[in-house]
Structure 1
Amino acid sequence: MFETKQKKATLKVVNVASVPQRSPFRYPGGKTWLIPVVRKWLKQSKDTKTLIEPFAGGGIVGLTAAFESLAENIVMVELDHEVAAVWDVIINGDHNWLADKIYSFDLNPESANSILKKENKTTKEQAFSTILKNRIFHGGIITKGSGLIKNGENGKGIKSRWYPKTLRDRIMAVGHVKAKMKFVEGDAFSELDKIKNDINTYSFIDPPYTVAGRRLYTHFEIDHDALFALTAQLKGKFMLTYDDTEEIRGFAKKYNLDFRTIPMKTTHHIQKNEIIISDNFDWWK
């Protein structure tokens, strides 16, 4: 049955510090806070499964599934070329190179600008440039219009979020599990369409949200109605996440998809609800 009234949120806000930090990204809209729920969802069946994350972004769900053996095969998909370069190098390419480049880089405004302003970058150079931008731009936002951190934590400026050893260690750790991972630079819709009849593929779908997407992402314009229509066709299990708006509730009702609300805290410590849409909620306890 479609949920016509918002149920009282029974889950508590997750302390993200309690969740292992796997991603090299500071990702706006990241789902680290949702990992305890994702674990339950992926554990609902012990059958051999593939997990696809068609809007990979910071990739925390795919990475967690790989590290914790929650799926046998993980496919991460990302359209944004800058973000895609990072995952292409780490998962499909030479992750050691990127880890060493980050660790050995002498970060200062001049060296940073020389990297960011270079044109015609190779995939490796783009990967490093993206990580650099993600770490030294306000809020980790790499879209046009964002800019360098000026003061930062304790007056450290652009070095405030630059943790070369931590970043190197995270990337090297991914290197130990990437044999079960695959990265595709491509469109979420086409990749979901390819697997829509596969009952053994779990789809974790976290698109750019209707409200914040324009500010946070380069590819924020997607057809949300079409995404709901495609999700409703999936034969395998799925979890679709969204901001809690009347528009999104309307799409869920249109395609007869059930949902639950879940509390979370923003980076500004404001508590709000998001929506989890799924093919079933037998695992929701």
Structure 2
Amino acid sequence: MGGQLSMFETKQKNAIQKVVNVASIPQRSPFRYPGGKTWLIPVVRQWLKQSKEHKKLIEPFAGGGIVSLTAAFENLADNIVMIELDHEVAAVWEVIINGDQNWLADKIFSFDLTPENANSILQKENKTKKEQAFSTILKNRIFHGGIITKGSGLIKNGENGKGIKSRWYPKTLRDRIKAIGHVKKNMKFITGDAFTELEKVKNDESVYSFIDPPYTVAGRRLYTHFELDHDALFALTAQLKGKFMLTYDDTDEIRQLAEKYNLDFRTIPMKTTHHIQKNEIIVSDNFDWWK
């Protein structure tokens, strides 16, 4: 009897059964990001609130940046560092976090979106940093699924036949970007490599590392920089002295890597953009905060 109870308790501990309604989470990012973590925000909040001590949050695969932005808006970390290697995505954060976010916000709001105007922006060579930032947001909003890698293309029909305007909400985007300007004083963005930046902080116990790499299955389709040494990332994560949360798709390969480096994990259900429910894996240094 005792053994059966133990098994039941373990199952309850290892999974949060409820799928999060993404519509209930504040949308902070200007990106439509494939693989975005808006659905994970309630869990991230629990993780960041496990200690009231001074903390620095580092997001080495920033992407759409929802975790860093939520932490900034909700005062969940004292210092926040976002890192991204992709030069197109990085240009957006360089302008918003390190530069003049108002320029980008106003440019989006005033832009007359037509296929001709969009193509003239996208096809321009030798863009400035600001021009690249605007081009990236434009591409992210008018390409299929927000995918900006080579091979993706313009939305043709879109919602209600609106075509490329289906996901172009200039006022909403302007407001989101300007809002970030009000909370970015404790934020910093680095165009760089995740491994390099994690190495720099691996001995700092005050650092919370939210690590969301390109996944083993979908990475090739969704991201420009999809090639990643997942074994090396697990090895580096295992060396971190601070708190960490590492997220992955639930595959045998990832479970084996967690076991190899003696890292504890939990599974959590989520719904894809196509409303397919699947499990993801969360690896962490401890699960005392897990509810």
The TM-score with structure 2 as length reference comes to 0.96
Q: Give the superposition deviation at 1:192.
A: 0.2
The DSSP-based 3-state class of the residue aligned with 2:148 is coil
User: Does structure 2 conserve the Cα–Cα contact (< 8 Å) formed by 1:7 and 1:261?
Assistant: no
CA distance, structure 2, for counterparts of residue 10 and residue 38 of structure 1: 13
The DSSP-based 3-state class of the residue aligned with 1:75 is strand
Does 2:216 correspond to 1:173? no
Give, as a single letter, the amino acid of the residue that structure 1 aligns with 2:49.
Answer: K
Q: Give the superposition deviation at 1:7.
A: 6.4
Aligned ranges for residues 17-56 of structure 1 at < 5 Å?
17-56=23-62
The DSSP-based 3-state class of the residue aligned with 2:238 is helix
Does 2:76 correspond to 1:64? no
Does 2:85 correspond to 1:79? yes
1:115-145: per-residue Cα shift (whole Å, max 9, x none)? 0000000000000000000000000000000
Match of 1:282 in 2: 288
Aligned ranges for residues 1-285 of structure 1 at < 5 Å?
9-285=15-291
1:18-71: per-residue Cα shift (whole Å, max 9, x none)? 000000000000000000000000000000100000000000000000000000
User: Does structure 1 conserve the Cα–Cα contact (< 8 Å) formed by 2:14 and 2:266?
Assistant: no
CA distance, structure 1, for counterparts of residue 72 and residue 281 of structure 2: 25
CA distance, structure 1, for counterparts of residue 71 and residue 88 of structure 2: 23
Match of 2:5 in 1: none
CA distance, structure 2, for counterparts of residue 10 and residue 205 of structure 1: 20
User: Does structure 1 conserve the Cα–Cα contact (< 8 Å) formed by 2:96 and 2:180?
Assistant: yes
User: Does structure 2 conserve the Cα–Cα contact (< 8 Å) formed by 1:6 and 1:261?
Assistant: no
CA distance, structure 2, for counterparts of residue 262 and residue 9 of structure 1: 5
The DSSP-based 3-state class of the residue aligned with 2:209 is strand
CA distance, structure 1, for counterparts of residue 151 and residue 51 of structure 2: 44
The DSSP-based 3-state class of the residue aligned with 1:233 is coil
**Structure 1 segments (4+ residues) deviating >2 Å:** 4-11
Give, as a single letter, the amino acid of the residue that structure 2 aligns with 1:29.
Answer: G
How many residues matched? Answer: 282
Instruction: Pick which of 73-82 and 6-15 moved more.
Output: 6-15
The DSSP-based 3-state class of the residue aligned with 1:240 is strand
**Gap runs ≥5 in structure 1:** none
The DSSP-based 3-state class of the residue aligned with 1:259 is strand
User: Does structure 2 conserve the Cα–Cα contact (< 8 Å) formed by 1:261 and 1:273?
Assistant: yes
| Alpha-carbon RMSD | 1.2
CA distance, structure 1, for counterparts of residue 180 and residue 79 of structure 2: 14
1:8–1:240: structure 2 CA closer, same or farther, 3 Å change rule?
A: closer
1:23–1:229: structure 2 CA closer, same or farther, 3 Å change rule?
A: same
1:239-268: per-residue Cα shift (whole Å, max 9, x none)? 000000000000000000000000000000
User: Does structure 1 conserve the Cα–Cα contact (< 8 Å) formed by 2:71 and 2:77?
Assistant: yes
Q: Give the superposition deviation at 1:10.
A: 3.2
User: Does structure 2 conserve the Cα–Cα contact (< 8 Å) formed by 1:237 and 1:279?
Assistant: yes
Q: Give the superposition deviation at 1:148.
A: 0.0
Q: Give the superposition deviation at 1:13.
A: 0.3
CA distance, structure 2, for counterparts of residue 12 and residue 188 of structure 1: 31
Q: Give the superposition deviation at 1:8.
A: 5.6
CA distance, structure 2, for counterparts of residue 8 and residue 233 of structure 1: 23
The DSSP-based 3-state class of the residue aligned with 1:103 is helix
